[in-house]
Structure 1
Amino acid sequence: MTFGLGALVSLFGVVAFGAVLPVVPTGAAVSGAAALAAHENPVMVVLVVLAGALGAYLGDLATYALCRWGGEALARRLRWLRGNARLDRLGTELRSREVPVLLVSRLVPGGRIPMLLAASVIGVTWRTFLYANAPACLLWSAVYASVGMLGGTVFPRPWEGVVAAIVLVVVVTQVAGWVHRRREATA
């Protein structure tokens, strides 16, 4: 089996789709692809990072467009922002540090969509969003590809590295989500 253009296009599509509908484990897809690519040709991992980042970027653009279209009514209906206090807090954080907040929100499990929604409600411009989201998507993709490469180098067979990378991503994501929920519950 060779890891080629078809795999990269598939990865791009899965990540773009998962960025809009967050039911697809996009981080695990990037990690698994990186583990597989590392076994065949380590240079391909760079293309995996780029395909993952581009898919995430375009998916985030679509998500941000939907958030801007839905606006504050969507925020209230989805109850992600649970009242004006949370929206105000996110808005204050975004206004003071737009780029770092958007960058970090891409890496925090479950943090991206509420932050995109808050950014759209407070009126973060398209220009700022385009500028801030590019490095966020690249960093996100590189982090998950690194996890995949780690899994791919530990195990001798490609499928073992892919499984290890996916399991590691799922465990880390679940633990990070649990910690985030605990912090919010105590805040």
Structure 2
Amino acid sequence: MPHYLDAVAASPWILAVVFVVAGLDALLPFMPSESTVLACGVAAASTGRPHVALLIVVAAAGAWLGDVVSYQVGRRSTAAVTARLSHRRAVAVHGWVHRMLHSRGGLVIVFARYVPGGRSTTALAAGLVGYPAKRFAWFTAAAVVLWATQAAFLGYLGGALFENHPLLGFLVAGSAAMAVTGAAIGIQRLAQQPVRVRQRVR
């Protein structure tokens, strides 16, 4: 690994960056949270820094905190949003989101994390429709641990396979992460489909 990348990986601030980026991604969807974890995983394969277990814990903690904050923003906005639901289509969308989350919230919360923009939208929507806070926190905890573990180990695997070419290792890990995202989108659509069918029947 190039010397400057080794120095970055060894910096005590790198985990702070991971925590902040993972947290802000819930409020600012353009934040490269997964790319940051992948890159750190690649670095860990060559240098042993940051430690993979610690990387997973920090990334998961930041993501969980960000999701909870986004949920609380939605929860505190419920009254204002409900008061403005005068349009029939808006009421229908609100009702559909409510039914979907209350019927299969676990699947939606876990797999929405892999859909571009899905993480922030789902957390905010869960708060808006009054999804139970404790249930949201537990499903989100499972989701962030799964996400952080997958991203860190894909990065580590890419770095281990291409130890002398970290950029190539990052690209391979990123491609694998995109494949996981594609599978998650498919699963999420399957989870939503029965809700749509029931809505049409009514």
Structure 1 length-normalised TM:
0.77
For residue 47 of structure 1, what is the amino acid of its counterpart?
L
Picking from 119, 134, 140, the partner of 2:141 is 134
Picking from 84, 96, 107, the partner of 1:100 is 107
**Length, aligned pairs only:** 180
Q: RMSD of aligned C-alpha atoms?
A: 3.4
In structure 1, C-alpha distance between the alignment counterparts of 2:186 and 2:104, rounded to whole Å: 23
In structure 2, C-alpha distance between the alignment counterparts of 1:26 and 1:179, rounded to whole Å: 22
Picking from 26, 35, 39, the partner of 1:28 is 35
> What is the deviation of 1:98?
2.8
In structure 2, C-alpha distance between the alignment counterparts of 1:23 and 1:112, rounded to whole Å: 11
Note the alpha carbon deviations across 1:49-69, whole angstroms, 9 max, x for none: 111111101111111121222
Larger Rg over CA atoms = 2
Q: Which moved more, 1:126-135 or 1:155-164?
A: 155-164
1:1-187 matched pairs, under 5 angstroms: 1-2=6-7, 3-4=9-10, 5-41=12-48, 44-71=51-78, 73=80, 83-157=90-164, 159-161=166-168, 163-164=170-171, 167-168=174-175, 172=179
> What is the deviation of 1:105?
1.8
In structure 1, C-alpha distance between the alignment counterparts of 2:79 and 2:180, rounded to whole Å: 28
For residue 149 of structure 1, what is the amino acid of its counterpart?
Y
Structure 2 length-normalised TM:
0.72
Note the alpha carbon deviations across 1:120-149, whole angstroms, 9 max, x for none: 122112222222211111111112223212
Unaligned runs of at least 5 residues, structure 1: none
- Could you say if the C-alpha distance between residues 75 and 142 of structure 1 is closer, same or farther in structure 2, counting changes exceeding 3 Å? farther
Percent identical among aligned pairs is: 28
> What is the deviation of 1:162?
5.8
Unaligned runs of at least 5 residues, structure 2: 1-5, 197-202
> What is the deviation of 1:86?
3.2
- Could you say if the C-alpha distance between residues 130 and 45 of structure 1 is closer, same or farther in structure 2, counting changes exceeding 3 Å? same
